[in-house]
Amino acid sequence: MANEPSIPVVEQKRPYYLGTSHYSVDDKGRVTVPAEWRREDFESQMVILPARQCVRVYPGSWFAEQMKEITELAPTDEKAIRFRTIAAIGKQATWDGQGRVVLNEELRKKADIKKEAVLRGQGDYFEIWDARRFEQVAGTEATVEDIGL
């Protein structure tokens, strides 16, 4: 046993959520997640948290990293208090057999998500918007030249 080779630890990089898709929201609050975001190399465990005008969906591993950081803070630390407040509204999720996630009523109300939703990739997470609200705040399109790439 003493001569067993050690197995190198390889850091797994999370795939990116890219693109924008439009989907219906059913009466139970279910919305389809784009197929390319449900591939085998993407995490199936997610955490859905409220944002200012939408909900954000993060991979479970991201949330675990945040929890580790938060637990190292004093319970009275302002960041820890705010994080716990947000987490109390959030929910753990995974997609169902039809590739949908469920947005509970509280999250739908907070983001004013009704019958049509826009899922917008943001790199390491994605957002779910009410389609009408998204059109109001989406703004102009950007190009890679705009950010110096």
Q: Where are the domains of the chain?
A: 20-137
Q: Is the pLDDT of residue 113 over 80?
A: yes
Q: Is the pLDDT of residue 76 over 90?
A: yes
pLDDT band of residue 43 (cuts 50, 70, 90) is: confident
Percent of the chain past pLDDT 70, that is, above it, reads 83
Q: Is the pLDDT of residue 9 over 50?
A: no
Instruction: Give the chain's mean pLDDT.
Output: 85
Sequence-ordered list of residues with C-beta below 8 angstroms from that of 5, at least 6 positions apart, any chain = none
Of 31-45, 51-65, 126-140, give the lowest mean pLDDT range.
Answer: 31-45
Quote the CA–CA distance of 41 and 30 in Å, as a whole number: 23
What does the pLDDT average to over 58-84?
91
Cβ neighbour number for residue 60 with a 10 Å cutoff:
15
**Four-way CATH pick for 20-137: 2.40.30.170, 3.40.1550.20, 3.10.129.10, 3.40.47.10:** 3.40.1550.20
The strand pairing partners of 58, in sequence order, are 47
Q: Is the pLDDT of residue 111 over 50?
A: yes
Cβ neighbour number for residue 34 with a 10 Å cutoff:
17
Choose from 2-6, 38-42, 113-117 the range with maximum mean pLDDT. 113-117
